[in-house]
Structure 1
């Protein structure tokens, strides 16, 4: 499970530059006012909570299977 998670994270991080589309007006506005960091922080928090909850759910399911 942990190896798959690490592999997925590395794949995501390595492919994130492939989808860059240059200078986007909305992103430039958010970046200049500093709000882009809030957006990134919220998204990272959501993904972290989802990952932790899925990990805990997986542990509970394994315990029930045994």
Structure 2
């Protein structure tokens, strides 16, 4: 039981410290201008997922009307 509580407390400390590190990393990226690259990559990924979902929806609709 002690092993699990130690692991849980370590995980909790890691989760608590992540926002501070993320904020520091974001400010570094903003100052270097790399944040725009990150935003562009994320937007491209989300656009690809959205396009794929639209494609699947049309394909499913076509199969439903075929029956």
Query: What's the TM-score bracket when you normalise by the shorter of the two chains?
Result: 0.5 to 0.7
RMSD, matched Cα: 1.1
Give the TM-score, by structure 1 length: 0.63
Give the TM-score, by structure 2 length: 0.62
Q: Which has the larger radius of gyration?
A: 2
Instruction: Count residues in correspondence.
Output: 44
Give the helix-richer structure, 1 or 2: 2
Gaps of 5+ in 2: 1-18
Please list every run of at least 4 consecutive aligned residues from structure 1 whose deviation after the TM superposition is greater than 4 angstroms: none
Q: Which residue of 2 aligns with 1:34?
A: 33
